[in-house]
Amino acid sequence: MSRLTTASPRPIHSAFQRKLALIAVFGTLLPLAILSLMFLLVPMPLTPAAADILRSAGRFAGAIVLVHWAVTLAVWVASKAVKPAPTAEWQGIKLVRRANA
């Protein structure tokens, strides 16, 4: 008799880790890409007002990246600390005794 088993929690856990890594990469690259686009589109010669805007944008992008990494790290630590719930496995039918008809 074949036994049916459920998928182990390991692939689900590794899938979550891959998604978390993808979120970390995009959360870092997106603000930095927008900041680099701002530096590319700044009018030349650079005026003091434009320099202040770029400086503020750099600080803001840095703050976003740091907060994003802190949240991502907290979620990763929480996922390592919490064990996944055990999954139920199918069990075969056990024959206790035969009924006489």
Q: Which tokens sit at 25? A: 């990469």
Domain boundaries, the chain: 9-81
The owner of tokens 């590319």 is 40
Give Cα 66 to chain centroid, integer Å: 15
pLDDT tens profile 48-88: 999 999 999 999 999 999 999 999 999 988 888 887 667 77
DSSP state of 82: S
Exposure letters 31-50 (e unless 16+ CB within 10 A, then b): beeebeeeeeeeeeeeeeee
Kindly indicate the confidence band of residue 93, based on its pLDDT and cuts at 50, 70 and 90: confident
d(CA 67, CA 63): 6
